[in-house]
Amino acid sequence: MTTLALIAHMPLASALSECAQHVLGQIDNYIFFDIEPDVEPENKVQEIVEKLKPMLGPDRQVLILSDLGGATPANIGARVVRELQNSGVKAHILSGTNACMLLNAVRYREQPMDQLCQSIFEGGKKGMKCVDLAPND
């Protein structure tokens, strides 16, 4: 089972996590981090790595989800991925996370990493809709 981590601007990680737990119940092998505006990135990277290591299953796979690519949470996540990869863990990061992506990450985490990432992106796309409401006649 892939270990999941969500790293997002405060309070988005908490909010998305509450939503996922509301829909799916307790989530095992999952951790989330709200990134504060004044965070010290290197300290946060080390904190996240230390919290993830004991959660690793026998497959030693971690998928990090972040909200905005190129922003501080995603940059922290990318550094976490690098550290994990350097210690022999298969790790990836996806950005642009929405609620549907998080739900699919939890639902399909038994899939191989490439297939899991594809399932997550598909869920994210399917969750985006333009709803046209006809005016009341």
Each domain of the chain, given as residue ranges in start order, spans 3-110
Query: Which 3-state string (H, E, C) describes 16-49?
Result: HHHHHHHHHCCCCCEEEEEECCCCCHHHHHHHHH
Mean pLDDT on 27-53: 97
**What local confidence, expressed as pLDDT, does residue 122 receive?**
95
**What local confidence, expressed as pLDDT, does residue 137 receive?**
55
According to CATH, the superfamily of the domain at 3-110 is Phosphotransferase system, mannose-type IIA component (3.40.50.510)
129 falls in which pLDDT band (50, 70, 90)?
confident
Whether the predicted pLDDT of 136 surpasses 80:
no
Residue pLDDT, tens place only, 90-100: 999 999 999 99
